[in-house]
Chain A
Amino acid sequence: MRSDAIPLAPVPLTADEAETMLQRQIKKHHVAIILLHWFNAATWILEVATGAALISSRLFRVAPDWYLAIVNGLFGTRGNLLRFHVALGLVWIGVFLVYGIFGFRTYLRGEVLKKEIALDRDDVRWLVVRALRILGRSDEALPLQGVYNAGQKLFSMVVYAMLPVVMVTGVIMAFRLFSPWVVGWAVVLHFGAVGAVVAGLVIHVYMGAVFPEEKPAFFSMFTGSVNELFAYNHHFKWWREMKTEQLAWDRQREPAAEIARPETPAGGEGDAQEPST
């Protein structure tokens, strides 16, 4: 597609164009991210399930008696339950450390985070319109989104802010570091931080697994790619970015092609007139 052919806003597609785009896959997630996502999901299910059963005092707990009885029964003793929770938590932290250290340049640099987390004006508007649309109160078109939509960005913000809290407070409790006063506050913050993530997870899981419009996004967490039509319709800014990059790449290649066959006249498309960059 030519640069002047990349629209600034989505244009209605012909059936053929839509079909072609539907068949074409665009890479969205690295294998490392897919593995981390599902490892994280499995860990969270187990940690939240055991953690909820560990808070057994009537004052603090969030799970009913029967739930505590089942989970305690599964583990035999409460000591085993706590050991499992702590051991899995430490493995989880270990995996994230590896990811954080080796993947820092790829996934955690400022500009990457800015792209994946920071909300712009469109994102804020998107949140409002998305909510109204879900509630059936609006038919307004959604503002254009980048590689992640504002809902995903908002959830990432919560996750990026709360994960360090969950990890640090977990380690403090596991090894009873510093003073009992610190451990006491660690329990409270651990609960609060997990609670914030779980509140987000409720939406995250629904949007990913149940909400029909996001189906390609859900499958991209297995395959790593989404079809171009989905990117075009839901992440237009990202689609445009990809197209622009692709064009720049093509242009870089074209002069080389011309050098290789300087005598060959350009095909009727006028490629030879493309300005070299």
Chain B
Amino acid sequence: MARYAMVTDLRKCVACQACTVACSAEWAVPAGHARTHVRTTPLAGSFPNLTSSPVVGQCNQCDHPPCVEPCPSGATYQDAGGIVRVDTDVCIGCGFCVDACPYEARFINPRTKKVDKCDFCRPRIERGEVPACVATCTAHAKYFGDLEDRNSEVSRLVFRDGARRMETRTVAVGPNVFYLGRPEHLDLVLSSYPPRPPRLLTAGAAWTRLLKPLVLAMVGMTFAGQAVAFFTQLHKGEGDFEE
């Protein structure tokens, strides 16, 4: 089974935004939103030894995606290739998954009012193509392939060249987007845009912690009461109840 991964070589990235544009064009992403974004870290160090790095971010198709469980309707799921996908037929746009994502890679599409995000261009992969951002990258800084295939380029970049995952000790969800770069740049990227711990919106928390136990208790109690009544009825016999 394939395990799709992407590697971005930040040493080659020139932050030209071609990937963002290609992605938005491919998936008709409304203006003001993006499935992939390019940012630049703040300057680090002291003059004249200043440094910064571009960062290309998107859905990391995590091994343990924190966005799946908070999705009440099961619209967000992980497919057989490890890609985290959204069944827009089932998405109700509650935004629970948006808040759960440590990489802020999800958004509510204002046109469809449903969640939208990168899925490694799943339809393109199925046609045997690479994702739009990879195909477009002017500096050839992006690589895409199957991590399970030891002969693939991504496999080589990850297992031999040491491409890194942007995860911290507190947020380690197994992202499958890897980065190559000078260690100080990768550290700078991680410290500038660290993944934030997954969280559940107040509405979701109220549901799990308060409403679900309450509803189960209410239904359980009425059911138990009714069961007692039924056994009393059996015990007494129906004749006693007749008019």
Contacts and interface: CB of A to CB of B under 8 A. Distances in A.
Interface of A: 18, 22, 54-60, 62, 77-79, 81-83, 131, 134-136, 173, 176, 180-181, 183-188, 191-192, 195-196, 198-200, 202-203, 206, 210-213, 229-230, 233
12 contacts: A22-B243, A54-B90, A57-B70, A60-B212, A62-B212, A78-B75, A184-B95, A184-B203, A188-B204, A199-B219, A199-B221, A202-B219
Contacts of B233: 210-212
Given A56-B73, A62-B215, A199-B218, A183 B93 contact: yes
A188 B89 contact: no
A57 B74 contact: yes
Contacts, number: 142
Nearest to B93: A176
B90 A210 contact: no
B88 to A, nearest CB: 8
Contacts of A233: 243
Interface of B: 68-75, 87, 89-90, 92-96, 98, 108, 113-114, 200-201, 203-204, 206-208, 211-212, 214-216, 218-219, 221-223, 225-226, 228-230, 232-233, 235-236, 238, 241-243
A79 B95 contact: no
Question: Can you list the 10 inter-chain pairs with the closest CB atoms, starting with the nearest?
Answer: A79-B89, A195-B215, A180-B95, A56-B74, A176-B113, A199-B218, A184-B203, A212-B241, A176-B93, A202-B222
Given A57-B73, A59-B208, A60-B204, 16 more contacts: A54-B74, A56-B73, A57-B71, A59-B200, A59-B204, A82-B73, A176-B114, A183-B93, A183-B95, A188-B203, A195-B218, A196-B218, A198-B215, A199-B218, A200-B222, A211-B233
Contacts of B218: 195-196, 199
B96 to A, nearest CB: 6
A191 B215 contact: yes
B190 to A, nearest CB: 29
Contacts of A203: 222, 225-226
A183 B94 contact: yes
Nearest to B232: A136
A200 B222 CA distance: 7
Contacts of B75: 78
Contacts of A18: 243
Contacts of B90: 54, 78-79, 81-82
Residue of B204, B218, B243 contacting most chain A CB atoms (<10 Å): B243
Nearest to B96: A184
A199 to B, nearest CB: 4
A200 B215 CA distance: 11
B222 A78 contact: no
Given A56-B74, A59-B208, A135-B228, A199 B243 contact: no
Given A195-B211, A195-B215, A173 B72 contact: no
Contacts of A22: 243
A55 B69 contact: no
B93 A180 contact: yes
Contacts of B232: 134-136
Contact of B72 (A135, A136, A187, A212): A187
Given A82-B89, A192-B214, A180 B108 contact: yes
Contact of B215 (A54, A186, A196): A196
Contacts of A136: 232, 235-236
Contacts of A78: 73-75, 87, 89-90
Given A183-B94, A212-B238, A188 B207 contact: yes
A143 B128 CA distance: 77
B99 to A, nearest CB: 9
